[in-house]
Each structure stands twice: as C-alpha cells, then as structure tokens.
Amino acid sequence: MSATATETTLVEAGLRAEIRLLGQLLGETLREHEGLTLYELEESIRLRTKALRQQYDPAKESDLVAELGRIPLGDTARLVRAFATYFQLVNLAELERQARSVLETGDEPGELDRSVARCAEHGVPAARVAATLDQLEVRPVLTAHPTEAVRRSILDHQDRIGQELARLRAPLSARERERVRQRIATQVEVLWHTDEVRSFRPRVLDEVGNALFYLERTFFDTIPDIQEQLAEALARSYPGLRPRVDPLIRLGSWVGSDQDGNPNADAAMLTQTLHLQRRTLLTLYRERVRALARDLSQSTSLTSVSPQLIDSIQRDETEL
C-alpha cells in the first residue's frame, strides 16, 4: 500500500471514529431527554435502512415503509429531527476532516501555486504578470438568501463542536480526552434543544449577524492567507517580482442594505449594519494586535528599532 493510500485510510478511520462518537453522544441525548422508545425506534430505522443500502430487498423495504406510515405525527416530527441532527453532525465531522486534510497537505503545491508556475513555464514575462495582478480584483459578495434560515446560535454550536473535534486529534491524556468528550456531549445536548430554524421571518439584524459569523470565522483569516499564498507562489516562480500590497480580495456585502431584497433594510438599518461591521472588525484586529504584542516581546533596550517604524507606530497611535 502506498503512503498516500495509507494516509487516506487513516483519515477515513479517524472520520468514522468521530462520526461514531457524535452518533453515540446524540443517542445519549435522545435516551435522556426523549426516552428509550424514540431512541430504539430511531436505531431500528437506521439499521434497517443501512441493511437495505448494503443489500436491497423489496419486501423489507415495503415493511419499513408500512411501519413508518404507522408512526404518530408527533413521534414522526421528533424522529425526523433526530435524523436531521445526526446528518448535521456527520456533515460537520466531514467538513472538519476536509479542513484538516488541507492543512496537513499545506506543503504541496495548490492551484494558485501551479497557475503561477505554469505562467513562468510558458514564458509569461514578469511585467505582464504584475500588470495583470494590478488590475485584478476579486470581490465575493455576501447576500441574505431567503432560503438561508439557519440561526446564528446553531452556527456557533456547530463551530464549538468542530473545535472540540480538532482537539481530539491531538495527543491527549485519557483524562483530558474525557473532558473534551464531555464538552462535545454538552454541545450536542444544547444543539438538540435549539430550534434549527426560526419560527418567524428573520429580522434584518439576524441576517447581519449570520453574515458577520462568516466574516469572523472564515473570511478574516482566509483572505490574508490567500494573499500570502500568492506572494509565496510569485517568490518561487518570479523571484524578482514584488507582490501587490493592497488586498487582491475585497469582501462585499448586501446584507443589511439590500432594499430591493428586503424593504426593511432602510437607511437607519444600513447605518446600524455599518456600525456592527466596524465593531466586529475592530474587535478582530484588536485580538490580533494583542497576540502580536505577546509574541513580539523584544525590548528597545536590547534591540534596535528603525526610526521609520517608530514614526509609523506614532502616526498610527495618533490616528487611533
């Protein structure tokens, strides 16, 4: 078996273990809060559908469909929700594993690196590459789609579960591993008791909150990372070419201001949205600056600092 095949097998085994853990924790929640009857019904249906997928039998399928038709409406709603929550957790585990795989293969050339390398291989002049990059701007725009009804609280719970799953992949003592398991169990339990969708039309501020979630958890770190990948790719293929300093990707948003899509997004709402965006970004920048301050602990009495840097810091301090 090749090294790549072995790594793939290990990743798949880890994913199965995580899905099994999440299923067990959801089962514990169902038994504790919904009773043994619903849990056993859910497990029976899950195992029977799994068996049908592995070996189809028309008679067994008919029996299962008939049994499903006899389930009372109230139990049906809880059963559907149990399966929906299970698949939500499965999807979360798969996404976390995919993200982990990307990080673990970070030394391998990506599509951006390969594209720049192909330009160099085909003799594209550095001046042309620089001119193209100077004119290039990627602007993803966030929108509040009417079918996107997932609440911010659900996204937060999913994010916390994902963070704990990532901790489980690190070397841990048995005691710490059990603590992580308990934290995941708590989040699964809270997730079960949280409505996945709102029972009323989302307010504009709810939509703004969802958009800010993706800004905080995805775009804020991903956009600079792409910029850095581009700089590294240029350094490898065009050593003398200095990358552009201003951002290649600029994030846009219609959320909170799309008056065609939502008449409640008036001028006052736009102002409030801009304040929320500003506060979120300043908080994120403040966190990063504090982290830098902890990392860059050099003393001016022990190392020299250029006058240009001191002047720049003083100007920034004055402007702030």
pLDDT-derived band at 104, boundaries 50, 70, 90: low
79 has pLDDT over 90: yes
Whether 35 contacts 114, CB under 8 Å: no
Q: What is the pTM of this model?
A: 0.65
Residue 8 pLDDT: 47
What percent of the chain shows pLDDT beyond 90?
44
- Give the range among 43-57, 148-162, 279-293 with minimum mean pLDDT: 148-162
Question: Residue 142: beta bridge partners?
Answer: 253
Whether 291 contacts 309, CB under 8 Å: no
Whether 258 contacts 144, CB under 8 Å: yes
What percent of the chain shows pLDDT beyond 70?
90
pLDDT in tens, 264-289: 888 899 999 999 999 999 999 999 98
CA distance 35 to 12: 32
| Domain spans of the chain, in order of start | 120-149+205-296
Residue 5 pLDDT: 44
DSSP 248-261: SB--EE-TTT-TTT
CA distance 78 to 75: 5
Residue 62 pLDDT: 93
pLDDT-derived band at 299, boundaries 50, 70, 90: confident
- For 7, 110, 226, the CA distances from 232, given in Å and listed in that order, are 26, 11, 10
Question: Residue 253: beta bridge partners?
Answer: 142
Average pLDDT over every residue of 56-81:
92
pLDDT in tens, 153-202: 888 888 899 989 988 888 889 899 999 999 999 999 999 998 876 666 77
Average pLDDT over every residue of 37-48:
92
Residue 207 pLDDT: 86
Average pLDDT over every residue of 95-108:
69
pLDDT-derived band at 3, boundaries 50, 70, 90: very low
pLDDT-derived band at 35, boundaries 50, 70, 90: very high
Residue 249 is classified by DSSP as B
* More confidently predicted of 301 and 46: 46
238 has pLDDT over 60: yes
144 has pLDDT over 60: yes
CB atoms within 10 A of CB 93: 22
- For 96, 140, 171, 183, the CA distances from 24, given in Å and listed in that order, are 18, 39, 22, 14
